Amino acid sequence: MTRRRAVLALAVSALLATACQASPTDPSTGGIVTTTETATNPVWPSNFPDPQILPDGDGWVAIATNGNGMNVQTLRSDDLRTWTQGSDAMPELATWTTKGKVWAPEARRFGDRWVMYYTTIAPKPAIQCVGVAVADDPKGPYRDTSSKPFVCEQDQGGTIDASPFVAADGTAYLYWKNDGNAVGLDAWISVQRLSTDGLRLEGKPKRLFRQDLPWEGQLVEGPFVWERDGVFHMFYSANDYGSANYAVGHATSSSPTGPFRKDPEPVLTTSDVAAGPGHCALFEKDGRVLMVYHAWAPDSIGAEVPGRTMWLSEVTFDGQSVSVTPPRTVLPDWL
């Protein structure tokens, strides 16, 4: 072998050795992190149900249903691609509730404080109701100093999945679902005005719609409203969350208080890589609207591991219509 060929062979060998080094281990998941510039779904491969992503300085924080020893799980990211586990966003619960069923937290900034609405169990009767907590930072710690639930429809099975919304005119609203399917009643999405600080309900609640389309099964839940060009778009979930039939629906109105007109079919459904996508929330990045949601691995529907992992899709608007990119393992280069 000539000296020139020998040098070239050594260089190629060094490059191959570097490329084939083992990827670093992610201690939070026990898995392997792929060192690549390509963004991939799920963006968090462990159980993280009912997610919401909030801006946090120059980065992002995600909050979710209880798990991993936390009442409200958190994740932190600088780029939406790589996430690290954070601490409990609400380490201390209100005196009227207990651990174990803290679900579907959603937060919004009101003035200089963050207000989080969350589902938890009420004392008497022991049904799921909505509490409210306050923090100076989107990551928490949130504190609920109340002596009773914020919303609790005792005669309707309870209240879950509260979602705050502030319209372009500054008026605030809270949407939620009565837990009717837990007691053999209809499940309704309702709305009520909020005070400017998000800590008081004003006026009377109004029912908007219930399950009445074939694909919705026995319930509607998980409302989230987004305003675009004077149109109020409500995204909601329906059917059995523990199955591949769970999906995201869409309805529109010219007012935050309805009436809302539903699309006949869901806008986000099971694919070959993600089953039962649902309980979504929207947020904006660089002028694009993204949807965060949970989904099962198709071969592990209902299993505790990996559970409901966190996914991202893009939402585009065209008047009354929307388009949501289906679950894909490879995300766009711009993310």
What number is the average pLDDT over the span 307-313? 98
Higher-confidence residue: 90 or 37? 90
Higher-confidence residue: 265 or 8? 265
pLDDT at 35: 38
What pTM value is reported for the model? 0.89
pLDDT at 37: 65
The model's pLDDT over 135-167, given as tens digits with 9 standing for 90+, comes to 999 999 999 999 999 999 999 999 999 999 999
Higher-confidence residue: 26 or 184? 184
Q: What is the secondary structure of 279-323 as a DSSP string? A: EEEEEEETTEEEEEEEEE-TTSTT-SSS-SEEEEEEEEEETTEEE
> If you average pLDDT over every residue of the chain, what do you get?
91
What number is the average pLDDT over the span 55-78? 97
Instruction: Give 38's pLDDT tier (boundaries 50, 70, 90).
Output: confident
Question: Distance between alpha carbon 236 and the CA centroid of its chain, in Å?
Answer: 11
For the beta carbon of residue 274, count every other beta carbon within 10 angstroms.
26
Eight-state DSSP code of residue 241: T
3-class DSSP state of 103 = strand
Question: Distance between alpha carbon 323 and the CA centroid of its chain, in Å?
Answer: 18
* Maximum distance among all Cα pairs of the chain, rounded to whole angstroms: 88
Class of domain 49-324: mainly beta
Q: How far is CA 190 from CA 87, 109, 165, 213, in A?
A: 32, 21, 13, 18
pLDDT value at 124 more than 90 = no
